[in-house]
Amino acid sequence: MELADILSEDSVLVHDKVRDKTEALEILADQAASVTGQDASTIYEALAARETLGSTGLGNGIAIPHGKLPGLKGVSAAFLRLKQPAEFDSVDDQPVDLVFMLLAPAGAGADHLKALARVARLLRTDALVEALRSADKPQKLYALLTAALPSQNAA
C-alpha cells in the first residue's frame, strides 16, 4: 500500500492556530468528511472514542489518531501540520505539531493495521520529520509524505 493510495493532496493541511487535540481532530474530521463523503461529526466521534482508550500522541511531537467507520469504502488518511504545537495528551507530555489521521472501514483488520504500521514507521524517520517541520505548504508536505518511503511488500 502506497501512502498516495490513501492520502490525497487535498487532505494535507497546515494550520497556525490550533489550541488542542479536540480542535485538531475537528479539523481533520471536517477534511476527511469532504474527501470520504462521511459525516464530519461521525468521523470526529470515531476519533474521539479511540482517544478515550489512550492518547494517540506518540511522543516527539507526533500523533496518529485513527478510527473505524461503518460504510467507509477503504482506508483514508489526512495530515495536519501545526505551525504552533498543541496539547495532545501525548505519552511524553509534549505538545504535537505533526498529526497523521487514519480512517478505516469498520471491518478492516489487516489493511488498517498495515497502514498504521506504515505511517508509524514513516514518522520515525528523523530526516523526514525534520523536513515536515520545515515545510509550510501542503503541496511540499504531500510530496515529502508520499515519496518518503519506498513500497515494501512486507509492510
Per-domain residue ranges of the chain: 3-146
Residue 85 near residue 95 (C-beta atoms within 8 A) = yes
Q: Which of 54, 26, 13, 39 is nearest to 145 (CA)?
A: 13
Domain 3-146: which CATH number of 3.10.20.30, 3.40.930.10, 3.40.1160.10, 3.30.420.40: 3.40.930.10
Q: Active-site residue among 21, 66, 81, 118? A: 66
Grid look-up 478492516 returns 108
pLDDT digits (tens, 9 = 90+) for 117-136: 889 999 999 999 999 999 99
pLDDT reading at 14 higher than 90: yes
Task: Verify whether residue 66 is a known catalytic residue.
Answer: yes
Grid look-up 488498517 returns 112
CB under 8 Å to 152, separation ≥6 — which residues?
Answer: none
pLDDT reading at 150 higher than 60: no
